[in-house]
Amino acid sequence: MKVALFGGTGFVGSYLVDALLAHGHAPRLLVRPGSESKVVQPERCEIVPGDIDDRGAIARCLAGAEAVIYNIGLLREFPDQGVTWEKMHYQGAARVVDAAVAAGVQRFVLMSANGVKPDGTGYQSTKFRAEQYLAASGLDWTVFRPSVVFGDPRGRMEFCSMLYEQMLKPPIPAPLFHAGLWPAGAGRFRMSPVAVEDVAEAFVRALETPASVRRVFPLGGPEAPEWREILRVIAAAAGKRKLMVPAPVAVPRAAAALLDRFAWFPVTRAQLDMLLEGNACDGSEAWSMFGIQPRRFEPAALAYVNPSA
């Protein structure tokens, strides 16, 4: 099957390419000029130069394809640079949906996120609107909503590596965030870390599973640890024991209000808000349908966080 892949050069995208090829499919990637070196197994992929706002490039990427995967996503936006959730999560997805309809490419799989909602952060609301646009298109769609995704970043941005560099490697206590001033419940919010290999495998098996059409699947790992346990597992993977202390989220959020427009500032207001919401979900329905045994979130799976450990 020839599969048009939008968002094939990033963290999850690189694993999607591997999974597509492992299943005998032919990936065709829309790649921004200058990003060709980020394509894994480039000799086995077809590359279409262009950007997500280039309708001609999108049409060329879709020509002759039998399915589409839209995997473009931003952890944070930089409006001053024209890099926004509105542009990449919603407008880009809507543009590709319209082009797929025009080209007669009926099968469409969308990367969304656990916790999306119409009245959430900009990250959450733009992904939610993309889901709604796709659902109204008449295409044979599937939507995946992963929790936080972990795995060897291959030189890209990844959840556990970022936490290690920002919160566990520095010689200061790691923060157990909490709302308000009283530390009750500090670090008690939960997530369901899911392995990137399992996410990629689910996407590809969905293309081969008619029962997945017009379905929304949460993707979470087999456990839903609290924040404090997530930090402990990452620290253990790096051979560290880390002191953790309660930390009111209002302090970094106030700093982020002033500084999160700068790339060097490590966290944004939206990220902090979503963090306190938690990100747990039950992925058992997807794992059962696609015959996948999800990997556990444990130190042995996270050796990449500190290669020198």
Average pLDDT, the chain: 95
For residue 111, what pLDDT band results from cuts at 50, 70 and 90? very high
Checking if the pLDDT of 6 tops 80, the result is yes
Regarding beta strands 194-195 and 149-150, do their DSSP bridges make them parallel or antiparallel, or are they unpaired?
A: parallel
278-290 average pLDDT score: 97
Q: pLDDT-derived band of residue 142, with 50, 70 and 90 as boundaries?
A: very high
What is the pLDDT averaged over residues 275-298? 96
Q: Give residue-wise pLDDT tens across range 9-43.
A: 999 999 999 999 999 999 999 999 999 999 999 99
What pLDDT score does 81 carry? Answer: 87
In order of 57, 165, 217, 240, the CA distances from 247 in angstroms are 47, 18, 33, 21
Residue 54 has pLDDT above 90, yes or no: yes
- Provide, rounded to the nearest whole percent, the portion of the chain with pLDDT above 70: 100
How many CB atoms sit inside 10 A of residue 246's CB? Answer: 15
Q: For the segment 193-224, what is each residue's pLDDT rounded down to a tens digit?
A: 999 999 999 999 999 999 999 999 999 999 99
Q: What is the pLDDT of residues 223-268, one digit of tens each?
A: 999 999 999 999 999 999 999 999 999 888 888 888 788 887 888 8
Give the pLDDT confidence score for residue 42 in this predicted structure.
97
Q: Determine the 3-state secondary structure of 51 from DSSP.
A: coil
Task: Using pLDDT thresholds of 50, 70 and 90, give the confidence band for residue 59.
Answer: very high
More confident residue, 241 or 184: 241
- State residue 149's pLDDT score: 98
Q: Write out the E strands in 7-49.
A: 26-31, 46-49
> What is the Cα–Cα distance from 204 to 22, expressed in whole angstroms?
10
pLDDT digits (tens, 9 = 90+) for 297-307: 999 999 999 87
Rounded to two decimals, what is the model's pTM? 0.95
Do residues 93 and 70 lie in contact, with contact meaning Cβ atoms separated by under 8 Å? yes
**74 has a pLDDT exceeding 80:** yes
Distance CA 89, CA 129 (A): 9
Percent of the residues in the chain that have a pLDDT greater than 90, as a whole number: 85
* Residue 186: pLDDT over 80: yes
Rg (C-alpha) for the chain, rounded Å, is 19
| Cβ count near 22 (within 10 Å) | 11
Tell me which amino acid residue 180 is: G
How far apart are alpha carbons 242 and 223 in whole angstroms? 22
pLDDT of residue 230: 97
| pLDDT at residue 136 in the model | 98
Q: Rounded CA gap, 228 and 239, in Å?
A: 16
pLDDT category at 309 given cuts 50, 70, 90 is low
Residue 308 has pLDDT above 90, yes or no: no
CA–CA distance, 273 with 249 (Å, rounded to integer): 9
What pairs with residue 110 in β-bridges? Answer: 70, 143
Decide: 28 and 45 in contact? Cβ < 8 Å: yes
Q: What is the mean pLDDT of residues 109-131?
A: 97
Higher local confidence (pLDDT), 157 or 280: 280
Residue 149, Cβ neighbours under 10 Å: how many? 23
